[in-house]
Amino acid sequence: MKIGAGISIITPEVPMIMAGYSARAGNSKGTHDDLKARAISLSHGGQEIAIVVCDLLAVGDDLVAEIRGICEATLGIPGSNIMISATHTHQGPMGLSKYLDDVYPPFLVRKVVEAITQAKKSQKEGTFRFVENSLKSVSQNRRDPEGPIEEVLKVLLATDKDDEVIASVMAYACHPTILENDNFLFSADFPGAANGLLEKNLGGTSLFLQGTCGDLNPTWAAHDYSNVKLNGEIVGASALVAALESKQVGTDRRAVNLSWDMDTPQTYFNGSSIGEPTFKSLQKLVKVDRGFPENFENIDSDVAELEGNLAADSSLANVKKVQPKLAELRSRRNLWRRPSPRKGPGSDELEIQVIQISKDCAFVGLPGEFLVEVGSEIQRRSPIKNTIVVGYANGYYEYFPLSQHFAEHGYEIGASRYVKGSTEKMIDASIELLKAL
């Protein structure tokens, strides 16, 4: 196949309200590190695919549709073959959809198209290798310290005929929230640091594909840029080891065995070449019902009652009992009072997208914040050996907890717009599409 990569700077050119924390008031005050749109473009047999990831909280479905339309008209890439996702950094601008802002969205659209255009124009003959690496030290399940986390970092390395790196793609799940609401500088958070380390040591363009991190938060010693660098470089170093090891795939690696007086093959390494290109892209719209709270007019009094309960009894046992419900009600109040085209009762049709690049490698795009178990379940049930699940893809529809989580309460339940069972419908649709490939 032919593979190309491109980068454009998407940092706002003027101060803006920042996304990610409702407690942060006021405009941005500068830039710590630039926000970027990073793209890879693939072609084979007259077919074109593009995957983009932006250093943003999300990219609205209206902007995704506009970008797809422009690329189809000007670059000849079918809109259905383009996946646009976000790293989910909480240190970017608020204007991620036209209903939120009329200044940043046109700029973002232009810059994303620019990155895709660069990627297409830079295409050269290349191949992909796939490898995984264990990574358990940078995150924790924020609903339960003993709960599941993403334990494996996936890496796709694209190299040309001279084995020079065109692009590296790492896929991992963890919220980029090391920086808190007291930060007013634009930053890509730890995914930016991870990308920087790979680009410095490998060359080419690095992409960080955010997974299903809805209940995964980063570990840190302080909410500062030194911890952003530390976590980012741990992630990047893990990806770097995997990328370098992937270069062993397909080579006759041996060692001298002095006792036997012969060269013996290396057998422990577990990686794979991405086989003959097979380009397919499928999409499905899944109808889900909104779970607008019936007692929304009473939510303030319900919150006040639980706050009073905690004030009267601050024991650990009572906190563990009351706080999850309080967190759910607070986030539900915030969710349904925010400006949104989906405010109130009703239903929505949400896009699931799968993109296949070979018989043994495919991407699944999910439009929101799915919990870690969702990515694991899709990968477990997928008929494609190397399945990469991408969150925050092709739109943003808030949180998607599993049915079992509703009885546990918590922030993620209150921040979900949809009724119990919606997430399972999205999982089933994903598997249906993967099987159809």
Residue 159 has pLDDT above 90, yes or no: yes
- Do 196 and 310 sit in the same domain of this protein? no
The CA distance from 281 to 437, in Å, is 8
The CA distance from 321 to 318, in Å, is 5
What is the pTM (predicted TM-score) of this model? 0.95
Largest CA distance in the chain: 82
User: What is the structure's pLDDT at 370?
Assistant: 98
The CA distance from 208 to 186, in Å, is 18
- Do 165 and 239 sit in the same domain of this protein? yes
Residue 147 has pLDDT above 80, yes or no: yes
Asked if residue 314 is part of any domain, the answer here is yes
For a pLDDT cut of 90, what percent of the chain falls above it? 91
Asked if residue 267 is part of any domain, the answer here is no
Instruction: Write out the DSSP string of 286-327.
Output: EEEEB---TTGGGHHHHHHHHHHHHHH---HHHHHHHHHHHH
Average pLDDT over residues 161-189: 97
Residue 268 has pLDDT above 90, yes or no: no
Residue 274 has pLDDT above 90, yes or no: no
Asked if residue 212 is part of any domain, the answer here is yes
- CB burial of 313-326 (b: ≥16 within 10 Å; e: otherwise) equals eeeeeeeeebbbbb
| Domain end call among 187, 213, 246 | 246
User: What is the structure's pLDDT at 156?
Assistant: 95
Beta strands in 360-428 (DSSP E): 361-365, 369-370, 386-390, 399-400
- Do 313 and 177 sit in the same domain of this protein? no
Instruction: Domain count for the chain, please give it.
Output: 2
Between the alpha carbon of residue 398 and those of residues 104, 177, 219, the distances in Å are 21, 16, 23
- Do 211 and 317 sit in the same domain of this protein? no
Q: Which residues pair with 348 in a beta bridge?
A: 288
- Do 22 and 164 sit in the same domain of this protein? yes
- Do 193 and 324 sit in the same domain of this protein? no
User: What is the structure's pLDDT at 216?
Assistant: 98
- Do 170 and 308 sit in the same domain of this protein? no
Chain segment 52-100, per-residue pLDDT in tens = 999 999 999 999 999 999 999 999 999 999 999 999 999 999 999 999 9
| CA within 13 Å, CB half, 24 | 21
User: What is the structure's pLDDT at 4?
Assistant: 98
| Domain end call among 307, 324, 341 | 341
Please answer whether residues 29 and 185 qualify as being in contact, where contact means their C-beta atoms are separated by less than 8 angstroms: yes
- Do 177 and 53 sit in the same domain of this protein? yes
Asked if residue 426 is part of any domain, the answer here is no
Instruction: Write out the DSSP string of 159-191.
Output: EETT--EEEEEEEE-----SS-TT--EE--HHH
Please answer whether residues 386 and 272 qualify as being in contact, where contact means their C-beta atoms are separated by less than 8 angstroms: yes
Confidence of residue 269 (pLDDT cuts 50, 70, 90): low
Sign of CA dihedral 361, 42, 169, 253: positive
The CA distance from 330 to 309, in Å, is 15
| Domain end call among 341, 363, 398 | 341
Asked if residue 185 is part of any domain, the answer here is yes
User: What is the structure's pLDDT at 35?
Assistant: 98
- Do 168 and 240 sit in the same domain of this protein? yes
Residue 238 has pLDDT above 90, yes or no: yes
User: What is the structure's pLDDT at 43?
Assistant: 97
- Do 67 and 210 sit in the same domain of this protein? yes
- Do 180 and 313 sit in the same domain of this protein? no
Residue 243 has pLDDT above 80, yes or no: yes
State which residues form the domain around 115: 2-246
Asked if residue 111 is part of any domain, the answer here is yes
The CA distance from 235 to 137, in Å, is 9
- Do 159 and 301 sit in the same domain of this protein? no
Asked if residue 56 is part of any domain, the answer here is yes
Asked if residue 255 is part of any domain, the answer here is no
